[in-house]
Amino acid sequence: MNRLFKIYTVIAVVLAFSINSCTTGKSGSNMAESSYDSKIDSLMSLMTLEEKIGQTVMYSGGWDKTGPTVSANNKKYIREGSVGAMLNVFSAKGTRDLQKIAVEETRLGIPLLFGYDVIHGHRTIFPINLGLAASWDLEEIENGSRIAAEEASAEGIHWTFAPMVDIARDPRWGRISEGAGEDVYLCSEIAKAYVKGFQGDDLSANNTILACAKHFVGYGAGQAGRDYHTVNMGENELRNTYLPPFKAAVDAGAETFMTAFNELNGVPASGNKFLYRQILRDEWKFKGFVVSDYTAIFEMVQHGFATDNKDAARLAINAGTDMDMMGEVNRMYLKELIEEGKVKKETVEEACRKILEAKFKLGLFDDPYRYSDEAREKETIYKKEFLEAARKSAASSLVLLKNDKKALPLTKNKTIALIGPLAKDEENIIGNWAAAGDRRGRAVSIFEGLQEYVSKTNILYAQGCDIESDDESRFKEAVAIAKKADVIVMVMGEDYDMSGEAASRTNIKLPGNQTEFIRTIADAVPNKQLILVLMNGRPLDLSEENLLADAILEAWFPGTMGGLGIADVLFGAYNPSGKLPVTFPRNIGQIPIYYNMKNTGRPIPPDNPKEDYKSNYIDVANTPLYPFGYGLSYTNFEYKDFKISSKEITKTDKLIANVTISNTGNYDGYEVVQLYVHDKVGSITRPVKELKGFQKVFLKKGEHKRIRFTLTAGDLKFYGYDMKFKAEPGVFEIAIAGSSDFDFKESFTLKND
């Protein structure tokens, strides 16, 4: 047999395994045993140990604006069958070319898996994830990730490294922008929406991609808000706060998990058996595979946990990290480690099996090029309906923080002074982690967006200052146009690179001289309304801006259609409905600050918050500037007639909580109605408030609706001191409100039986 004939014989055998597989790639298969076992067994019986190890190795292609670039070494390793997956390669052609090497030039022709960070859109960029969370709109989030999957899959991507479901309570941390904020319940619901959107309900369809819940776990709790930093927390906090969004992702069928860079209680995540073997696999029955974060495996050497790279490889695979992203320690050391008896052959085989299974589920053995179709790519990316969805999402992610004297919405016939470093920007507006989104030529700036409502001649523009500098030379020009206009819109904020990975800040005020600039304008034209539109990837300290501006609209980084979404809100075509998914502190010294803190033994008396020897500050209030769940609307919503169905429930009963919401203002609009409880006494102390449900309801002006929530003992469960997950009998306070800032007035008792 000549070599070519041999290769094609093997490919034929492999393809034969996959017959029928395309109809059985249902998502959510974490629940069921694999239906691919016999195909995988047959394939693995042909594989050498090196080839099995190869499946656990992921390399990066790297890419530039015009297309993917892949180093010669990567290609060499792919040809040898030593690579199972690639990251940072996209486009139908780029992925097809590499796939061709894997399929046609390796001994067994096993297709590669292409992974990429499709975080808040692929080409059509949606608001950053913190902004998406501010919409509290699960349907919209699911739809946005469905669109991202459509676009990414059309560009050859099989797998997204998303969602990031890390709870984040420290605005200094740059990656707070990438998650859903501070709350366990909200983050968990949003985690499910992302997974469903990316994976759809049939992974064998060519427009669905694998999701990856990351970073397991505790990454958001790094000390001092520094990226990659040490995390220490009790198992109790881990289980009650940081694990639930990951569990939600497993329940929604997430096929893959990513390790975290941080250590947790002294053990780096990538080598943490307790996390991957005990919790993820034994307790949660997760059946997918775990990829390390970037070079996280060999970073265990720097952590002081592994003696060298080889030791790191041993620790990671034994702990349950199946795939090595970038680090190549698996390729270099796993064989030796097996020969030395430090890693069992079966451990590597188990990892290989799970990775192959993902490839079968995606239908790659049926057609390895099914995601790499140039015609489909062309007709899919930036589709009109995707852009429309992104515009709607941009509008619904905005949070109106302040609106004195009804400064907003704007009326169309006025002259606007449009000022600030982000007013004409189309580079920052799509935010960090913007996948393959174009930073030039695609995104709609605010300047352009406004032109849908007012003529260009009615917009007087001056940049005035930079995002970060102390140059005041252009303040004057801005003051001059502010004097000429009827209303002032200042667009200020952070550079997109000031949040995201490795972008922690110790100062969370507006950068450079922006605050000074706002003060200059406010002082120069005190009688004109000053609207502040903010783009930023984290909660900022806005204490001074809150005094200077008449209205503040938090726009995060709103994505490709951001300028239009913002214009829709400024002119009232979309009534703002966003609510904060994270607390905005008064100043950095209050961090960590989140709504569901504990009470302490010396809580402050509400009527005397400054009382001595209470848990307060001597210089600033305990309360945040803007609380979790908060956000204004152009209309008013009144909450009345709150009722619960019973004052007592058993562990099998349902409690119904009802409230009437009336839209008493002049605009139709959405309200995010929030259900909170407080478990008054527990075997471990409980947070002062916990979100347990929410509904986003639309009410026409003058309309009212009775809103109903159902609560069961299951919703009241938590991990106690004994690490058992249960609801404890006792008194619970309960309320329905439009933000986390309210006082409980009603309670019920959970009885013992």
> Active-site residues: which are they?
293
Per CB under 6 A, does 425 bind ligand BGC? no
Residue 87 vs 655, nearer CB to ligand BGC: 87
- State in angstroms the smallest separation of the CB of 116 from ligand BGC: 8
Q: Which of 161, 246, 634, 719 touches ligand BGC (CB under 6 A)?
A: 161
Site for ligand BGC in 91-120 (CB under 6 A): 117
Site for ligand BGC in 655-714 (CB under 6 A): none
Per CB under 6 A, does 158 bind ligand BGC? no
Q: Which residue is nearest to ligand BGC (CB)?
A: 161
Q: What residues form DSSP beta bridges with 324?
A: 57
Residue 133 vs 164, nearer CB to ligand BGC: 164
Using CB under 6 A as the binding criterion, the count of chain residues that bind ligand BGC stands at 7
First-residue to last-residue Cα distance in the chain:
74
Tally of CB atoms within 10 A around 564:
27
Q: Nearest-CA neighbor of 684 among 710, 648, 723, 652?
A: 723
- Asked whether 474 and 462 are in contact (CB, 8 A), the reply is yes
- State in angstroms the smallest separation of the CB of 294 from ligand BGC: 4
Length of the chain in terms of residues written? 753
Residue 212 vs 727, nearer CB to ligand BGC: 212
- Asked whether 561 and 448 are in contact (CB, 8 A), the reply is no
Per CB under 6 A, does 293 bind ligand BGC? yes
Q: Nearest-CA neighbor of 112 among 365, 377, 376?
A: 365
Return d(Cα 384, Cα 517) in angstroms, integer: 38
- State in angstroms the smallest separation of the CB of 359 from ligand BGC: 19
- State in angstroms the smallest separation of the CB of 422 from ligand BGC: 26
Q: Which of 59, 136, 173, 294 touches ligand BGC (CB under 6 A)?
A: 294
- State in angstroms the smallest separation of the CB of 394 from ligand BGC: 24
Residue 120 vs 214, nearer CB to ligand BGC: 214
Tally of CB atoms within 10 A around 283:
13
Residue 295 vs 396, nearer CB to ligand BGC: 295
Per CB under 6 A, does 298 bind ligand BGC? no
Give the 3-state secondary structure of residue 305: coil
**Token pair recorded at residue 682:** 């527990």
How many helices and strands, by DSSP H and E, does the chain display?
22, 28
Q: Report whether the peptide linkage leading into residue 409 is cis, meaning its omega lies within 30 degrees of zero.
A: yes
- State in angstroms the smallest separation of the CB of 214 from ligand BGC: 6
Site for ligand BGC in 381-420 (CB under 6 A): none
Residue 325 vs 407, nearer CB to ligand BGC: 325
- State in angstroms the smallest separation of the CB of 29 from ligand BGC: 23
Per CB under 6 A, does 501 bind ligand BGC? yes
Q: What is the chain's alpha carbon radius of gyration, rounded to the nearest angstrom?
A: 27
Match 């003696």 to its residue by tokens: 307
List Cα–Cα distances, 305 to 16, 396, 579, in angstroms.
45, 45, 42
Q: Per residue in 689-708, is it b (16+ CB within 10 Å) or e — as a string?
A: bbbbbbbbbebebeebbebe
Site for ligand BGC in 74-93 (CB under 6 A): 87
* Crossing angle of helices 309-319 and 345-361, rounded to 10°: 60
Residue 161 vs 584, nearer CB to ligand BGC: 161
Site for ligand BGC in 190-249 (CB under 6 A): 214
Write out the residues near ligand BGC by the rule CB under 6 A: 87, 117, 161, 214, 293-294, 501
